[in-house]
Amino acid sequence: MSGCGDDDDGGTGQTGTPPLTGTSIKVLSGRADMVTGGDALVEVLPPAGAVPATLRVSVGGRDQSANFAVRANGRVIGLVTGLTAGTNTIEATSSNGSFAGARLTVTNAGVNAPVLLRSHIEPYICATPQAVAATADSAGTNASGLSAAPTDAQCTTRAETKLYYRTLTAAGTGGCAFVIPDPSPTAANPAPTTPANSCFQPYVAGTTQASAIATTTPLGSTTAVPYIVRVERGVINRGIYDIAVLFDPSRPWTFDAPQPQWTGKVVHNFGGSTGQPRLQARPNSSWVDNNALSRGYMVAVNSLTDSANNSNRVLVAETVMKMKEHIIEQYGELRAYIGNGGSGGAINQNTVASISPGLLDGLQIQLDFADSVTTAIEVSDCVQLVNFYAGPAWTGLMQQQGLTQAQINAKKAAINGHLDQLGCHSWNNAFGTANKPGNYQAVLVANAAGQLFTSPAVTNNCRLPAAQVYDRVRNPNGIRCSDPDAAVAVWGTTPGTNRANQTNDNVGVQYGLKALQSGAITPEEFVTLNEGVGGSDADSNLTPQRSVADLDALRTAYRAGLVVSGTQVSRVPIIDQRTPDEQGIHYNWRSFSQRDRLARDNGGNFGNQVIWRHNGGASLAGLSLTTMDSWLNALNTSAPKPSANAVRTQAQVIAGKPATAFDFCYLSTDATYSNQVRDFTTCDQDPPLAVRSSPRQVAGGPRTEDILKCQLKALNFADYGTIVFTETQQARLRAVFATGVCDWSRPGVNQEATASPLTFAAGPGGVPLAPEPVSTPI
């Protein structure tokens, strides 16, 4: 491999010979205007016939020619270093004038500085090597898993690496377990060691015997390699990350010569749940992913792409962008960057693909939710409903009619749209307080009958000392801890307050409409329900009035792709594994809501998504990864990406679809999971796999469930068909729906096509990203 910049002559450039033209420069590790960390992997494309030895590369006048060389693939690539904050100019010229040069302006930010956002949320408490307990006046810290303390308020910490090997012990019952081999210290265990039952044990050069190490064969290879894993841990975007990959300790690894056991592909594991603590933590998702590592995939995790640690979805996308950039610069160019995760991890995959298309090349989704903004519709509806059911209007009506508890539960299920009444209980108890901005005591459902109790524990979503947190009376300017407030840089605030704009709205929603039409509830029950269901205020307190969204938030949600766009997510392969959780929060209809968005926004086409339904007893992780691998291999051939974050079309994605990527289910009666049923009509008739609905769909809304605030039409009793309301009931409904009822045939208020990708660097609301900078001739 010949170098660049070590021969001033090169045998060309004689007097009178015109210089060759056409030189260009491009950044390989991301967008040129979004470089982070002070370095960038750069390719120089000199004109045909140019002699690379005459190439000179400089940044701001500093010579970086020694970093560039003609690599084994024939391309001139180098790692530009020492970029300063702000704009930098890269110039590629010829030392002897044999070819005309080019320049490219790149914009660099710190590895922990905001890029897509104007600011990151504050305060944010950095983790420390040893956890520190909280006091009444100060927040505690989590254990970082790093030996060094942060060096600044942005949690900058030196990266570290460790090696582990896969033991020969079989995994499973009585064998080893794929658990984190370096658990965090706790008060009870301040110096933890690798668990004896961990399938990964520390590798010590010169001590660990080769005969003790398992082997594995990466995808695309026929050669088994020692199953040794290198784990890099550090801080990117203020999130603690792990990057794990098969590694040969006896060999070097550079960006231009990665070790061959790596497939050049990454699985980024996204963590579940949702939350907005202000405390930095280790990732909840794990690099210990035998399914991916054993097949030669790199595994990446970051605590800020774990939904439980961060519900600001733009910050999630920004973190993925920085992780991907770092991997390309340090490990080499990528053949694929794939998501993986369920529930909140599904939200993050879908939202990243929607708001920053091109970052992810494929989505492996379990327990699908399209996004957090529209998932909140069902959460808020369920909170309203369980509190209404426990109130005097409903309980009195049920007692007056002499109904049994089973009959009452059946009415609740019909209104909720779920298998039974328990689903809304689960939503209330798990996430009913997510939008509480201050200290609170959760109101929880106590039993299957829906009785409520108030938890004695006082807490807040920031996990900060109570005195620092917002209180409407005592501390109105305190730190707000709700889900929207964690992304105030995206949503903006309502005038005169520090409260983030919000999308919650139920004005005009006719709860229980389809239950009324089917005869599951009576006209009096329908009227009483809609009179009493109420809404919530800006602080997530229940109110008799309906909830009203901030109009600016609605526009932002749609334009930014935070309400996931079927257009944007049509551009990646999606493998959706759906297991039933009809008494919890993960309902079967969610996968088909995503499908409906794809079909609506792409002329009826949803061919980039496949759904695999089963009862939870089968592990399809291996099949998902190998199917996705085949899909992306085909796309790399038929529709190669010209840059790391380029976007494919739905047609290209579908054209590359492998024969193994098709819809199927395993029926619940198939104990051996041996018969893949392709007829979804048959699957729908299996009770655990049946597709039900939600309170908003029972109210007449579409299964896409992406109308945040409905447009209204006048209340018209002719619309109820043969259902008869008394004059008194009609008057009561007119009072409830004085401004009208939802017209679900029309788009929602401020609902518009996505304009993503947006940048929020100039402030809330966002503006479309400008075209990526390109080099210009010198």
Which strands make up the sheet holding 574-578, listed edge to edge? 200-202, 160-166, 228-236, 239-246, 298-302, 265-269, 336-342, 362-366, 574-578, 609-613, 664-665
Residue 174 identity = G
Can you read off the two tokens belonging to residue 15? 């007097």
Non-local (6+) Cβ contacts of 142 within 8 A are 127, 128, 131, 184, 279, 280, 281, 282
Query: What was the pLDDT predicted at 1?
Result: 35
Can you read off the two tokens belonging to residue 338? 């794939």
Query: What was the pLDDT predicted at 282?
Result: 97
Q: How far apart are CA 707 and CA 549, in angstroms?
A: 12
For the chain, how big is the Rg over CA atoms in Å? 28
Query: What was the pLDDT predicted at 617?
Result: 83
Length of the chain, please? 778
Q: Are 301 and 241 in contact (CB under 8 A)?
A: yes
Average pLDDT of adjacent 10-residue blocks, the chain of 778 residues:
48 66 97 97 96 94 96 96 97 95 97 97 96 92 96 96 98 95 89 96 97 97 97 98 98 97 98 96 97 98 98 98 98 98 98 98 98 98 98 98 98 98 98 97 98 97 96 96 97 94 98 98 98 97 98 98 97 97 97 98 98 92 97 98 96 97 97 96 97 98 98 98 97 98 98 97 97 96
Does this model's pTM top 0.85? My answer is: yes
Q: Which helix (H) or strand (E) holds 9?
A: none
Can you read off the two tokens belonging to residue 136? 């009444």
With 0-12 CB in 10 A as exposed, 13-18 as middle and 19+ as buried, what is 185?
A: middle
Q: Are 614 and 579 in contact (CB under 8 A)?
A: yes
Q: How far apart are CA 564 and CA 557, in angstroms?
A: 9
Q: How far apart are CA 231 and CA 288, in angstroms?
A: 10
Query: What was the pLDDT predicted at 650?
Result: 98
DSSP 8-state assignment for residue 771: P
- Angle formed at CA 196 by CA 191 and CA 199, multiple of 5 degrees: 115
Query: What was the pLDDT predicted at 634?
Result: 98
Q: How far apart are CA 75 and CA 100, in angstroms?
A: 18
Q: Are 379 and 431 in contact (CB under 8 A)?
A: yes
Residue 225: count of CB within 10 angstroms of its CB: 18
Q: Are 665 and 677 in contact (CB under 8 A)?
A: yes
Q: Are 283 and 185 in contact (CB under 8 A)?
A: no
Query: What was the pLDDT predicted at 4?
Result: 62
Phi and psi angles of residue 493, each rounded to the nearest 5 degrees, phi first: -120, 155
Query: What was the pLDDT predicted at 686?
Result: 97
Q: How far apart are CA 15 and CA 543, in angstroms?
A: 84
Can you read off the two tokens belonging to residue 580? 């039933």
Q: How far apart are CA 313 and CA 310, in angstroms?
A: 8
CA 90: distance to chain centroid?
Answer: 33
Q: Are 711 and 742 in contact (CB under 8 A)?
A: yes
Q: Which helix (H) or strand (E) holds 323?
A: helix 313-331
Q: How far apart are CA 718 and CA 27, in angstroms?
A: 63
Residue 451 identity = Q
Q: How far apart are CA 667 and CA 181, in angstroms?
A: 37
Looking at domain 24-109, does it have CATH number 2.60.40.10? yes
Using DSSP, how many helices (H) and how many strands (E) does the chain show?
18, 31
Buried b (16+ CB within 10 A) or exposed e, 86-122: eebebbbbbbbbbbbbbbbebbbbebbbbbbbeebbe
Buried b (16+ CB within 10 A) or exposed e, 412-430: bbbbbbbbebbbbbbbbbb
Query: What was the pLDDT predicted at 17?
Result: 83
Non-local (6+) Cβ contacts of 754 within 8 A are 354, 558, 559, 560, 561, 565, 567, 568
DSSP string, 161-182: EEEEEE-SSPBSTTSBB---SS
Query: What was the pLDDT predicted at 11?
Result: 45
Q: Which helix (H) or strand (E) holds 312?
A: none
DSSP string, 94-154: ETTSSB--EEEEEEEE-TTS-SSBS---S--B--BSS-B---SSS--B-B-S-SSPPSSTT
Domain ranges of the chain: 24-109, 160-334, 373-558+711-742
